[in-house]
Each structure stands twice: as structure tokens, then as C-alpha cells.
Amino acid sequence: MDFGDLLQRYFAASDISDMTPAAMASGTERMLVDLGLEKDRGKRFALWSLLYMLGEAPDLGASFKDEGDREAARNFMDMMAAAEGE
């Protein structure tokens, strides 16, 4: 899943700064539904990652059944925190 494709699909925007609050709320809701329905681990991780960057990601235990996927998500969170600290 490409970041630009996700923005277009869920928020009808090519730039995150162009999103209105209503588009953000609506797109986030659709992403949460799709996250709950998605079976492909990679796609689930991509959806969860974008939700995390938007501050809307659900709990790891609710999002990932596999411990390896939860550990990958923790690593992603650590990398994001490190990038913010730079």
C-alpha cells in the first residue's frame, strides 16, 4: 500500500495538509473499519501505521493477533518517536 494511494482512497487528498477536519474524521472511520476487516497482514500493518501517524491507531492487542506483528508495530512506534526527537 502506497502512502499517497491511502491518502487518496480514505481522505480524497493528495497532501495531508489539504485535509479538512470532516474529511479526516470520515477517512479515519473508514480506515478503522477496513483495519478490522482486512485479513492480509501487510495491508493491516499499513493501515495501522497510517492510523498511528494520525494519532488514531487502536491498541496493538486489538489490531494484531500475531506477536511478531505486535513487535513490528512497537518497532515502528520507536522509530517514529526517534524521528520526532531529531
For the stretch 31-70, pLDDT in tens is 999 999 999 999 999 999 999 999 999 999 999 999 999 9
pLDDT over threshold 70, residue 86:
no
Residue 31: which domain range?
Answer: 3-85
Mention every residue, 6+ apart, whose C-beta is less than 8 A from residue 69: 41, 44, 45
Q: Measure the CA–CA gap between 7 and 38, rounded to whole angstroms.
A: 17
The domain tally of the chain equals 1
Please report where in the chains the cell 500475531 appears, as a residue.
66
Q: Tell me which residue of 43, 45, 33, 34 sits closest to 75, measured CA to CA.
A: 45
Can you give the pTM of this predicted structure? 0.89
